[in-house]
Structure formats: structure tokens, C-alpha cells
Amino acid sequence: MLYIVPTPIGNLGDITLRALEVLKTVNLILAEDTRTSGRLLKHFEITTEMISYHQHNEHHIVNRLADRMRNGETMALITDAGTPAISDPGFLLVRECIRNGVRVETLPGATAFVPALVNSGLPVNKFCFEGFLPLKKGRQTYLQSLMEEGRTMVFYESPNRLLKTLQDFINVFGADRQCSVSRELSKLHEENARGTLQEVYNHFSEKNIKGEIVIVIAGKDAK
């Protein structure tokens, strides 16, 4: 059996009791970065064996892991923060387990885009999650494909690319499009900057930007 286990995106108190129970009882924990996850496991006194599972090795070991689970082992997949497979490794392993008749169970828990979306003040009845934009090839084509999108749009971004991405959004959606940018969610210095794309760009252009970023942008007004 494979458990998909969300881990806190910041505040360690956000981990669930069930997640702790699973991590203590499985045969093996698959971690995106064993150094990062090691600190989490040490904090909660979890001594389960852990190995690396990340985007650079998943293609090479996914079949072997699925075979081990098919033969009776139970594993838990975690990433550095949030829910695995959401802009993180996980999809390939889930697919391979399903193909091999291995039961997959995903625990509910932390993921960054949900609190960012809810506290944005933008419509949440319909939204689309776009994850990270392409860095170079196909970036402008991808952005152009979103010009007519009427749903609220959610993106992930790194702090060092935030201003460039906001400028790209201004060029495509217009400076007056409403947006919200969240960073350091659930941490001591959490920030949610709301306003037009231009206002939010100006706000962050005067700051030293740190922390993982979630950008929420209003869809095109149907009127």
C-alpha cells in the first residue's frame, strides 16, 4: 500500500494526527529531500527508515518501489512541504501503483494554494490551478492561452522570479486586473498582498522577497 502524506507548509502544528500515525507505522518513507524531512521526523520522534524520492531519480526507481509494495511493503510518500504530486514528485509513483494493483490512499492535509485562494478575496466557486509557469520555452504562448480565462487562476512562483512574473501578467491581463500574492503561509511573517497587478508589483518591488509564493489572479470579467 502507498500513502500520500501531506506535510506542513510552514507551521509544524498543521500536521495531522493521522499523518503522524502513518509515518510511524509504514515500512518506508519516500522523501523529496531527506535532510528537510529528517528535521520534521526528528521533531516528532519518528524513526522510520527513509530514502530519497525526487524528480531526478523517480523514473529510475518507481518500478522497483511499486514491486516492493505489490509484494507486501507499505510506504508513505512525502515532499518538502504540502501535498505530494501538487507541483511536486508523486504522479509517476501513484500511476505505477495503480497499474500494479497497489492500493493508494491520500491523506487530507496542507497544500499552499488552498489558503492562498480562500484568503485572496477573489471568487472561489470556480478556479483553475496552473502551478509554475514555463520558464522560457512556451511561456508567452501559455500566458496568451489564459487571456480569456474567466475562472480565478492560481500560480506558484519562486521569490526571485516574482517580479518578472507579475510584469508578464500585467502585459497579458492588464495592470488593473485584481490579484493577491501570498508568501510564507502559516509562518511567523506570513503576508497577503492584495490589489491590482500594478499595485502588488509596486509593493514587492520595494521589498526583499523571501519565501514560497502563491499568486491568485481574477479571471476575465464576463461583462
As annotated, the residues of the chain forming the CATH 3.40.1010.10 domain(s) are 2-106
Q: Which of the four pLDDT bands, split at 50, 70 and 90, describes residue 19?
A: very high
The C-alpha cell at 115 is 489558503
What is the average pLDDT across 153-165? 97
> What pLDDT is stored for residue 81 in this prediction?
95
* Distances, alpha carbon 203 to alpha carbons 101, 197, 198, in Å: 51, 10, 9
Check if the beta carbon of residue 131 is closer than 8 Å to that of residue 156.
yes
**What's the pTM value of the predicted model, to 2 decimals?**
0.93
Residue among 82, 80, 75 nearest 14 (CA): 82
> What pLDDT is stored for residue 223 in this prediction?
54
As annotated, the residues of the chain forming the CATH 3.30.950.10 domain(s) are 113-217
What is the average pLDDT across 90-114? 96
Q: Which of the four pLDDT bands, split at 50, 70 and 90, describes residue 137?
A: confident
pLDDT digits (tens, 9 = 90+) for 33-82: 999 999 999 999 999 999 999 989 999 999 999 999 999 999 999 999 99
> What pLDDT is stored for residue 221 in this prediction?
87
Residue among 31, 2, 7 nearest 18 (CA): 7
> What pLDDT is stored for residue 171 in this prediction?
97
Mean model confidence pLDDT for the chain: 96
CATH number assigned to the domain with residue range 2-106, chosen from the 4 options 3.30.70.260, 3.40.1010.10, 2.60.40.2550, 3.40.50.10420: 3.40.1010.10
CATH code, 113-217: 3.30.950.10
- Residue 127 and residue 150: Cα distance in Å, rounded? 9
What is the average pLDDT across 150-157? 98
> What pLDDT is stored for residue 209 in this prediction?
94
